[in-house]
Structures are given as C-alpha cells and as structure tokens.
Amino acid sequence: MTAFTFAHNNLNVFDLEKSLAFYHQALGLTEFRRKEAADGNYKIVFLTDGHSHHKLELTWLRDWEKPYELGDNEIHLAFTAEDYDAAHALHAEIGCICYENPKMGIYFIEDPDGYWIEIVPKR
C-alpha cells in the first residue's frame, strides 16, 4: 500500500484578514503560501507553525454572503502547546477560550468563524 502523509486541513472563513490576525495572535501561525483567483473569486492562504510539515489552509470565497454553518462543531483541529500555562494565559487574555476540561488537561479556543481548536500540553 502507498504511504500517506498529512498535507493540510482546510477551513473556509468569512473574513480572511480577521482570521489571519487571529491565527497569528492566538497560535503564532504565519502565511506560507497564497493563491488568488485571477477574477478575485477566491483566496487560499496556507499557514504554517514553522516546525511541522502540516499546513492550515484558509479559504475565502468572494460571493459567500453569510457566516458558515458549523453544525454541531464536533470536528476540530488540535495544537500541542510547548508551554501550556503560557498558552492558556494568552488565550484567556485574548478572550477566545470557549471550553475547558481540567480533568483531561485540555481546553478549546474558538476562531472568528466559530471553529474550535483544541489545545493540549506537550506530553
């Protein structure tokens, strides 16, 4: 069988600039690559953490007129925090923590479109 490697995850976003600012401030992600349609119909921005090969793809569609419906929002991304306490303090300051589970030692932050991102300590 052919070996597979993760390449990226995609999230469609309503306000690209707001999302780019959030992912940079909350998670330190930076733009890796960008693709824009010649007619301006869409923009795709790949973000990197600078350490792993995995990318986060943010897709903005010009003609999308309302925030995305996320259903029960049971699908999420997860990030490992090198310094979990410092990460929690930053996210508390930003005001983006939406759920905490101290028993499991994890919490979730919410991006501008309502996507949840799990933060776990490095183990």
Domain with 46 in it: what CATH number? Answer: 3.10.180.10
Is 2 domain-assigned?
no
Contact (CB, 8 A) for 16 and 84:
no
* Beta strand ranges found along 21-96 (DSSP E): 30-36, 42-48, 55-61, 77-81
The two tokens of residue 44 are: 């795709």
Q: What is the pLDDT of residue 122?
A: 87
Q: Based on the structure, what is the number of domains in the chain? A: 1
Is 88 domain-assigned?
yes
Helix (H, G, I), strand (E, B) or coil at 111: coil
Is 3 domain-assigned?
no
Question: What is the maximal distance between C-alpha atoms in the chain?
Answer: 50
Pick from 68, 79, 53, 52: nearest CA to 115: 68
Q: Is 119 exposed, middle or buried (0-12, 13-18, 19+ CB in 10 A)?
A: buried
Domain that holds residue 43: 8-65+74-121
The two tokens of residue 68 are: 């995305």
State the DSSP H helix or E strand holding residue 116, giving kind and residue range, or none if neither: strand 116-121
Per-residue pLDDT tens digits of the chain, which is 123 residues long: 887 788 999 999 999 999 999 999 999 999 999 999 999 999 999 999 999 999 999 999 999 999 999 887 778 999 999 999 999 999 999 999 999 999 999 999 999 999 999 999 988
Is 107 domain-assigned?
yes
